[in-house]
Structure 1
Amino acid sequence: MTVKPILIHPDPRLKKACAPITVFDKNLAQLADDMLETMYDAPGVGLAAPQVGVLTRMFVMDCVKEEGGTPEPMALINPKVVWESEERNVYEEGCLSIPGQYADVERPKMVRVTWQDVNGVAQEQEFDELWATCAQHEIDHLDGTLFIDHLKPMKRQMITRKMQKYKRELARE
């Protein structure tokens, strides 16, 4: 498995809608493994393919955060929210492509998602709390939306400026 570099906002690839995946082969399985390795290394609870420069509809997640908890890695291909609860939740969200920046985002508390696994087999599951927030956050990535796009313009611009400065500093190193 290979840890891949994560794109940092602003990057035009993070704002593009991703293409559906139609080929389920060992390369796709390898990408899923590499993305999980990258997510755990970061560390994070979710990572979408465009964050590693692959503009396809896939993300990985594992929202088990408690010490000693059994990891539950998932790779979701061509995911789609097919139901969402009226009840809402607010989570302080962050993003591996926007390091060090966090903000409260309101989303449905529960969602039902359909997707395909790395073998192309159809799956469906209901997610709650952090899992639901993570799935929605990552599906947003596949549509070219970042969590900061849910914020008021001033806050979004402030975070974008911080990221531009951060990228300039990284380039100097």
Structure 2
Amino acid sequence: MEANGIVLSPDPRLRQECAVIEEITPAIEALAEKMKKMMFENGGCGLAAPQIGELIQLVTIDCDYSDKSDYDPYVLINPVIVEQS
């Protein structure tokens, strides 16, 4: 199931292992820009590539913006969790 182009749980794509990004290509850069735009338009603070149907390790995050003027998300490629608490 999808809403506004975003894949929703319990869609099985959200549980699949995602591919490592081997090279940052223009297509990866365009996808990151698309994700930043989608995240802002949907009022989100994070969006992972599988949530838009792309099974790769890419995520955008911005938890501190209030409007377009201070919207400046991080783009993480092949993120790894090294510690949790």
TM-score by length of 2: 0.84
Where does the alignment leave 5 or more consecutive residues of structure 1 unmatched?
Answer: 85-107, 109-173
How much is the aligned-residue C-alpha RMSD, in angstroms? 1.9
* Higher relative contact order (CA closer than 8 Å, sequence separation 6+): 2
Which has a greater percent of helix?
Answer: 1
Sequence identity (%): 37
Specify the alignment match of 2:72 in structure 1.
72
Which has a greater percent of strand?
Answer: 1
Specify the alignment match of 2:50 in structure 1.
50
Alpha carbons 2:65, 2:72 under 8 Å: kept: no
TM-score by length of 1: 0.44
Count matched residues: 82
The superposition leaves residues 125-147 of structure 1 with CA deviations (integer Å, 9 ceiling, x where unpaired) of xxxxxxxxxxxxxxxxxxxxxxx
Q: 1:10 to 1:70 in 2, by over 3 A?
A: same
| Cα distance, 1:69 vs structure 2 | 6.8
Specify the alignment match of 1:9 in structure 2.
9
Which residue identity does 1:50 align to in structure 2? P
| Other structure's SS at 1:80 match | coil
